[in-house]
Amino acid sequence: GKGGIGKSTTVSNISAAISDKGFKVMQIGCDPKADSTNSLLGGKYIPTILDTVLESNTVREFREIDVSKVIFEGYNGIVCAECGGPDPGVGCAGRGVITAIELMKEQGAFGRVNPDFIFYDVLGDVVCGGFAMP
């Protein structure tokens, strides 16, 4: 959907409602603005996965980083992460999201959290083919 129509607000409200029913929820923001989860975190912005990769200098070093540096607990125990990505017009946000999620899988983040539901708040205007629908 178009930017600014409320996708992040909607997914955050769905995450909150499902967590209120007793389920373990994880929400992953997939927009370079990295603002999907801040409503679940009391307005706080968190370090993004891709920024953490850049700071570690190499992907190999990232694989050795404690996953707690990129996942945070928000409202009612919702586990929050932000993929991050390139500035507008630079690089492919979709490819960045895929890379971030692959790194989280390799780190065992999903197994450690063991969520009942994972919500991906996907940006609305990926034009570079980073995401595909079946």
pTM of the shown model: 0.84
pLDDT digits (tens, 9 = 90+) for 63-110: 666 778 889 999 999 999 999 876 666 666 666 788 788 888 888 888
Burial class (CB in 10 A: 0-12, 13-18, 19+), 122: buried
- Angle, helix 49-56 to helix 93-107, in steps of 10 degrees: 80
- Kindly state whether residue 2 falls inside one of the protein's structural domains: no
Higher-confidence residue of 65 and 115: namely 115
- Kindly state whether residue 94 falls inside one of the protein's structural domains: yes
Looking at residue 26, its pLDDT comes to: 96
CATH code for the domain of 58 = 3.40.50.300
Q: Are 128 and 94 in contact (CB under 8 A)?
A: yes
Maximum distance among all alpha carbons in the chain?
Answer: 41
Q: List active site positions.
A: 2, 7, 33, 125
| Nearest to 37, CA basis, from 7, 67, 65, 2 | 7
- Which tokens hold the place of 85? 């990505």
Please, how many CA atoms are within 13 Å of residue 19, restricted to the half-sphere of its CB?
A: 22
Under DSSP, is residue 59 helix (H, G, I), strand (E, B) or coil?
A: helix
- Kindly state whether residue 52 falls inside one of the protein's structural domains: yes
Q: Is the pLDDT of residue 117 over 90?
A: yes
- Kindly state whether residue 127 falls inside one of the protein's structural domains: no
Looking at residue 134, its pLDDT comes to: 44
Give the model's confidence band at 24: pLDDT under 50 very low, under 70 low, under 90 confident, else very high.
very high
Total domains, the chain = 1
